[in-house]
Structure 1
Amino acid sequence: MPVVRAILALALSGLAGAAWADSYAAIQARRPELFHAETGYRIEHQRAPVPDDIPAPVRRVSALRTKLLMQRGAVMLDVYGAGQSRYDDLDGTWLVPEPRESLPGAVWLPEVGRGALEPALETYLARELERLTEGSKARAIVVFCVADCWMSWNAAQRIAAMGYLQVHWFPLGTDGWHDLGWPLHPVEPVPVQLD
């Protein structure tokens, strides 16, 4: 019975998202002040319904497709924000208020999905992507956060703009994964390397 429930949830989550979500263009036209004028990334109110689309070359993926990409060795990139927390300026460790559970094998890079990044976080993202992909711009990357969070939408586009060729956006994130009854595992944020 759990398998039937998971298949039904997959089908319904895909249909519901496609049927009820607005397009990026419609959301941006309605609330342009929420978006960065040059990049189009959302800069305000990150926790809100996400659009049903994302500009190419990024591809929106379902939970089932995410699982397949994971099995094929894709980099699983959790970009959940650290909230009011920041990294320690002395050693680069993140001071997070509560533990995080994520997809199996995921790497957590907090705050890299903000609409505008400070230079240290831009460098952090670039270094970690280089390390995680072993320098291959062709390595598949799945970017996610939680449901109804624009940080994964922003980060996926930012990563594609850096020249990565196989960027996938999983908008349901850890919430959708959990709702399907699939396991989540504790994850620690990768420290920021300070120069």
Structure 2
Amino acid sequence: MRLVAALLAIALLVDAGSALAETSDAIRARKPDLFHPETGLRIDRHRAPVPEDIPPPASKISALWARKLIARGAVALDVYGASQSRYDELDGTWLVPEPRQSLPGAVWLPEVGRGVLEPAMQAYLERELQRLTGGSKARAIVVFCVADCWMSWNAAQRIAGLGYLQVHWFPLGTDGWRELGWPLEPVEPVPVPVD
């Protein structure tokens, strides 16, 4: 039993990927209706197996590499969002159906990984990135959600498209972190600014 657990931990650390995993181009070719025709971001069925790759300049990283980057000061950006999550338009606070456990020190920006963002959500993402990075486009950012969720894949590309130079996609997210026995901690979503 310990051997099985050790092998699972090694697989998660290395993040070698599944033999059944497809490239993002292959999935897009097979299911074009799930992707925005101009941006290439996934617009439907976000909770599904993710591809083995992400288009550059974003990069895919393992759990071990995510942990190292965060320990060195990278922004840990949780983009988890559920269809029931929404923000109060009067004060900008998020109404979430259940508490969220995330990577230590993570900042939670719900819903910024959708395939298409409304202008208010795009402005929310851009403002928070500016704040979190201190205005440095060179600051490392680790983008994650949960396993088998395209929202982090979308968000990583969107952030790289804004000119951030070190955008790292951690596809195993909080699920992979938890499987390795690493601690998670409660996180509250950052409010959306309202006029």
5 Å-filtered alignment, 1:163-174, equals: 163-174=163-174
Match of 1:192 in 2: 192
Q: What's 1:150 paired with?
A: 150
Query: Which residue in 2 is equivalent to 1:74?
Result: 74
Shift of 1:17: 1.5
Deviation of residue 15 (structure 1)?
A: 5.7
Aligned residues: 194
Q: Indicate if the aligned counterparts of 1:108 and 1:189 stay in contact, CA closer than 8 A.
A: yes
Q: Distance in 2 between matches of 1:25 and 1:192?
A: 33
Partner of 1:47: 47
Deviation at 1:18, TM superposition (A): 4.4
Unpaired runs of 5+ in structure 2?
none
TM-score where L is the length of structure 1: 0.95
Alignment gaps of 5+ in structure 1: none
Distance 1:9 1:80 in 2: 24
CA gap of 1:49–1:160, structure 2 versus 1, over 3 A, is same
Offset of residue 6 of structure 1: 7.1
Contact 1:10 1:64 (C-alpha < 8 Å) held by counterparts: no
The code of the aligned residue for 1:88 comes to D
Superposition RMSD in Å: 1.7
Q: 1:7 to 1:66 in 2, by over 3 A?
A: farther
Distance 1:71 1:50, change over 3 A: same
Secondary structure, aligned partner of 2:76: strand
Query: Which one is further off, 82-91 or 40-49?
Result: 82-91
Residues 6 and 180, structure 1, Cα contact 8 Å, conserved in 2: no
Query: What amino acid maps onto 2:8 in structure 1?
Result: A
Answer yes or no: is the 8 Å Cα contact 2:9–2:179 preserved in 1.
no
In structure 2, the residue matched to 1:29 is 29
Shift of 1:168: 0.1
Aligned-residue sequence identity (percent) comes to 72
- How far has the Cα of 1:83 moved from its partner? 2.1
Aligned to 1:159: 159
Amino acid at match of 1:12: A
1:26-64 C-alpha deviation (Å, 9 max, x unpaired): 100110000000000000000000000000111100000
Q: Partner amino acid for 1:191?
A: P
CA distance in 2, matches of 1:12, 1:76: 22
Matches within 5 A, 1:116-131: 116-131=116-131
Task: Show structure 1 runs of 4+ deviating over 4 A.
Answer: 4-7
Instruction: Render the CA deviation track for 1:148-172: whole Å, top value 9, x for unaligned.
Output: 0000000000000000000000000
Report which stretch shifted further, 11-20 or 121-130.
Answer: 11-20
Cα deviations by residue, 1:62-113 (Å, 9 ceiling, x for unpaired): 0000000011000000000032221000000000010000000000000000
TM-score, structure 2 length as denominator? 0.95
Q: 1:26 to 1:73 in 2, by over 3 A?
A: same
Task: Give 1:10 shift.
Answer: 3.8
